């Protein structure tokens, strides 16, 4: 595994601008015959990132050359305020020129086990494979204060090691059913980017980056790309415990 890279920014907008350039490079490296495959993260942090991407004018990002997926989804209808797809649709998809055929949402309204299998087949059929595992160009991840990422929580950390690409699970704090990518898929990606903002996550981020304290109990600690790059994009607040 390559040494993780940590970048600290003054603002979420600066993070978003850097992420836009990462996206741009993913499109370029995918070449003209393939589309860059990107797995979006959910929760609230990405909303500002997606809004910034939507605000970019001109052709910096050729969305027709990007296939968008999700790393996880809540098992709700796409119109639900809880839906990761709805958040991305409101903040990004409705404002960019991306063909509908380039957007592959996890259908939270379907039976979870069935949808986890269907979505795994969709991803597997659209992405190139390396060592028989689909390889994303870019996986965007968030981080919970408890060290969860996608929808793999500390109480079920072993789910990360599932042999499946996606699993049905639940948020242990409210019982909400989820569908989540697993480590088999995440760690196969060419690049994995954690985007973490806010003071509340500073302790968890520092523990993970500096491999101290409870870091091994955090599912996010298992994100170790086999051949890809791991990048942390933090704002000053989320980085405030580093080196302490
Ligand atoms: C989700 C996410 C989850 C999220 C973290 C951080 O569906 O909620 O995939 O892993 O990234 O919980 O969420 P916030 O950005 O809201 O803090």
Q: What is the CATH number of the domain that holds 139?
A: 3.40.50.1360
Ligand 1 nearest-atom number relative to CA 84: 7
Ligand 1 pocket test: pick from 15, 39, 41, 146 the residue with the most ligand atoms within 8 Å of its Cβ: 41
The verdict on residue 240 lying in a domain is no
Residue 77 domain-assigned (yes or no): yes
Q: Is 142 in the pocket of ligand 1 (CB under 6 A)?
A: yes
Q: Tell me, yes or no, whether 11 lies in a domain.
A: no
Render pLDDT for 174-219 as a digit per residue (tens, 0 to 9): 999 999 999 999 999 999 999 999 999 999 999 999 999 999 999 9
Closest C-alpha to ligand 1, atom 7: 42
Q: What global pTM score does this model have? A: 0.98
Q: Is residue 2 part of a domain?
A: no
Residue 9 belongs to a domain: no
Convert the pLDDT of each residue in 117-138 to its tens digit.
999 999 999 999 999 999 999 9
Give the total number of structural domains in the chain.
Answer: 1
Q: Does 133 fall in a domain?
A: yes
Q: How far is the CA of 106 from the centre of ligand 1 (A)?
A: 16
108-118 pLDDT tens trace: 999 999 999 99
| Residue 142 CA to ligand 1 centre (angstroms) | 5
Cα 18 → chain centroid:
16
Residue 30 is part of which domain span? 20-220+230-235
Q: Has residue 58 been placed in a domain?
A: yes
Ligand 1 centre and the CA of 145: distance in Å? 10
Whether 147 is covered by a domain: the verdict is yes
């Amino acid at each position: 595994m390559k040494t993780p890279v940590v970048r600290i920014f003054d603002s979420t907008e600066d993070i978003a601008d850097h992420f836009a350039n990462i996206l741009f490079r993913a499109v370029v490296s995918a070449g003209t015959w393939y589309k860059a495959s990107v797995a979006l993260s959910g929760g609230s942090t990405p909303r500002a990132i997606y809004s910034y991407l939507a605000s970019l004018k001109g052709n910096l990002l050729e969305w027709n050359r990007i296939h968008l997926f999700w790393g996880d989804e809540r098992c709700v209808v796409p119109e639900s305020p809880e839906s990761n797809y709805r958040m991305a649709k409101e903040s990004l998809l409705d404002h960019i020129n991306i063909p509908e055929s380039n957007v592959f949402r996890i259908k939270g309204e379907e039976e979870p086990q069935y949808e986890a299998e269907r979505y795994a087949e969709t991803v597997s059929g659209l992405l190139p494979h390396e060592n028989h595992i689909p390889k994303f160009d870019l996986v965007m991840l968030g981080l919970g204060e408890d060290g969860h990422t996608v929808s793999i929580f500390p109480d079920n950390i072993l789910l990360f090691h599932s042999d499946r690409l996606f699993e049905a699970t639940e948020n242990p704090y409210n019982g909400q059913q989820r569908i989540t990518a697993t480590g088999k898929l995440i760690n196969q990606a060419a690049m994995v980017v954690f985007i973490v903002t806010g003071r509340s996550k500073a302790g968890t981020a520092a523990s993970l980056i500096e491999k101290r304290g409870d870091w091994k109990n955090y599912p996010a600690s298992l994100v170790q790309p086999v051949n890809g790059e791991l990048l942390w994009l933090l704002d000053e607040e989320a980085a405030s415990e580093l080196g302490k």
